Amino acid sequence: MRTVTVVGASLSGLYAARELRAQGYDGHLVVIGDEPHHPYDRPPLSKGFLTGRADENQLALTDAEESAELDAEWMLGVRARALDARGRTVVLDDGRTVSTDGLVIATGARARRLPGDALAGVHTLRTLDDARALREELTRGPRRVVVIGGGFVGAETASSCSSLGHSVTVVEAAPLPLTPHLGTGMAAVCAALHRRGGVDLVTGTGVAGLRGTLTVSGVELTDGRTLAADLVIVGIGATPNTSWLAGSALALRDGVLCDDGCVTALPQVVAVGDVARVGGVRAEHWTSATQQPRVAVTNLLAGRTVATADAVPYFWSDQYGARIQFAGRRGEGDTVRITEGELSDGAPAEGGFLARYERNGRTTAVLAVDRPRPFMRARRELTRETAVAATGE
């Protein structure tokens, strides 16, 4: 291959560029990204960056020295608009085209939006620009903040806002937030963390609409109530950025469909990170975005699938002074057992806990709140067992 192009200049795109060089690719390397910024880390945006503990320098994923070593052509601030049917030509928004032999799709996901969210005071939180705007508004004195969506990003944002002294309400349409990730029992335990921060959690009711003429003044709920608000943060999940691939030969279904080795329908096109549906699963986790590129690049350079991605997904979340860590794939009907630590009044007690999800006597997943060391041990066991089970098949 003489030219390899990475589309998406963020976490998984940067890791793909690194892997290409690390695995000996010495041809022309092009990285295209629509954000004007060099790759930065998103997890701190809802955590330390919002509270002011971390500044922009600390978000940088790379530096000038490494950039020079990578010897890539960075095309930043320009969006890829289309990919031809053969997967050999990337068309840019400004009309330019990039011809390529290999392609890494790393376009991630964007924040899902609500109708009527163009009102001033309504925010999403996905990009550095989003976070800058929100952080700026949060420094203008105490606000009534409504966070729509109680997922991880919503909960972390609520936690950060309350620690800055704002009064915060989280609205969640489901009976409990985080149920798809954690199952009902543990979702209830983690939802109880909102109490720690003095944040109100309203569940089981959707949002009917946003109130306000120029600036948002409230959130109308489907149960008829209206919550007064000076600031609304919409945290209702993310949509994979695949629209630019519409005219290509790639199969798209809530992400770019690939096999277990991140390879798409075209052998010289791979997909990684939040945009990739790898072996039927689209993870939106930092660790998947950093691990998949190794496998994807190996397969890209080999011209076929010779390696497959890690079967034990992992993510963490920091909220209300607690660190949540989860690894594995839980299933409906798994039993959950707390094997270390305890709960107090339905919430994690001081010192946290470790819980195991089990099916037929086997651990399928582990969850920890403030128990990093036992979690690490359990996660390693799980990785080992999963590898053994995979070779036994």
Partner 1 sequence: MIPVCRIEDLPKGESVRVEATPPVAVFHTDDGELHAIDDTCTHQDASLSEGWLEGCLVECPLHAASFDLRTGMPTCLPARRAVRTHRVTVDDGVIHVHLAAEEGTAA
Ligand X SMILES: Cc1cc2nc3c(=O)[nH]c(=O)nc-3n(C[C@H](O)[C@H](O)[C@H](O)COP(=O)(O)OP(=O)(O)OC[C@H]3O[C@@H](n4cnc5c(N)ncnc54)[C@H](O)[C@@H]3O)c2cc1C
Residue ranges in contact with partner 1 by CB under 8 A: 18, 44, 48, 63, 66, 286-287, 290, 316, 323, 372-373, 375-377, 380
Q: Name the minimum Å distance from CB 296 to partner 1.
A: 16
| Residues 181-220: x where in contact with ligand X by CB under 6 A, - otherwise, as a string | ----------------------------------------
Instruction: Identify the sign of the CA torsion 119, 122, 124, 127.
Output: positive
Angle at 41 between CA 38 and CA 42, to 5 degrees: 120
Among residues 20, 61, 83, 106, the one that binds ligand X under rule CB under 6 A = 106
Query: For the chain, how far is it from start to end, CA to CA, in angstroms?
Result: 35
372 binds, among partner 1, ligand X, none (CB under 5 to 8 A by kind): partner 1
Closest CB to partner 1 among residues 362, 380: 380
290 binds, among partner 1, ligand X, none (CB under 5 to 8 A by kind): partner 1
Closest CB to partner 1 among residues 58, 184: 58
Q: Name the minimum Å distance from CB 213 to ligand X.
A: 29
User: Tokens in use for 215?
Assistant: 């600036």
| Residues 257-276: x where in contact with ligand X by CB under 6 A, - otherwise, as a string | ----------------xx--
> How far, CA to CA in Å, does 10 sit from each of 31, 105, 279, 290, 391?
10, 11, 22, 11, 34
> What is the spatial distance between Cα 141 and Cα 144, in angstroms, rounded to a whole number?
10
Q: Which segment (5-13, 187-195, 302-310, 349-357) binds ligand X by CB under 6 A?
A: 5-13
Closest CB to ligand X among residues 38, 212: 38
User: Tokens in use for 100?
Assistant: 């390529």
244 binds, among partner 1, ligand X, none (CB under 5 to 8 A by kind): ligand X
- Note whether 286 binds ligand X by CB under 6 A: yes
46 binds, among ligand X, partner 1, none (CB under 5 to 8 A by kind): ligand X
Applying CB under 6 A, what is the total number of residues that bind ligand X? 36
- Note whether 316 binds ligand X by CB under 6 A: yes
Closest CB to partner 1 among residues 15, 357: 15
Q: Nearest CA to 270 among 38, 48, 19?
A: 19
342 binds, among ligand X, partner 1, none (CB under 5 to 8 A by kind): none
> What is the spatial distance between Cα 240 and Cα 252, in angstroms, rounded to a whole number?
10
Burial 13-43 (b: 16+ CB within 10 A, else e): bbbbbbbbeeeebeeebbbbbbbebbbbbbb
- Note whether 12 binds ligand X by CB under 6 A: yes
Q: What is the 3-state secondary structure (H, E, C) of 78-147?
A: CCEEEECCCCCEEEECCCCEEECCEEEECCCEEECCCCCCCCECEECCCCHHHHHHHHHHHCCCCCEEEE
12 binds, among partner 1, ligand X, none (CB under 5 to 8 A by kind): ligand X
Site for ligand X in 110-169 (CB under 6 A): 125-126, 153
- Note whether 7 binds ligand X by CB under 6 A: yes
**61 phi and psi angles, rounded to 5 deg:** -95, -15
> What is the spatial distance between Cα 366 and Cα 376, in angstroms, rounded to a whole number?
10
* Other CB atoms within 10 A of residue 107 CB: 31
80 binds, among ligand X, partner 1, none (CB under 5 to 8 A by kind): ligand X
| Residues 28-67: x where in contact with ligand X by CB under 6 A, - otherwise, as a string | ----xxxx------xx-xx---------------------
Residue pointed to by tokens 């190794």: 294
The answer to whether residues 313 and 328 touch, using CB atoms and an 8 Å cutoff, is yes
Binding site for ligand X (CB under 6 A): 7-13, 32-35, 42-43, 45-46, 79-80, 106-109, 125-126, 153, 241, 244, 273-274, 284-287, 289, 315-317
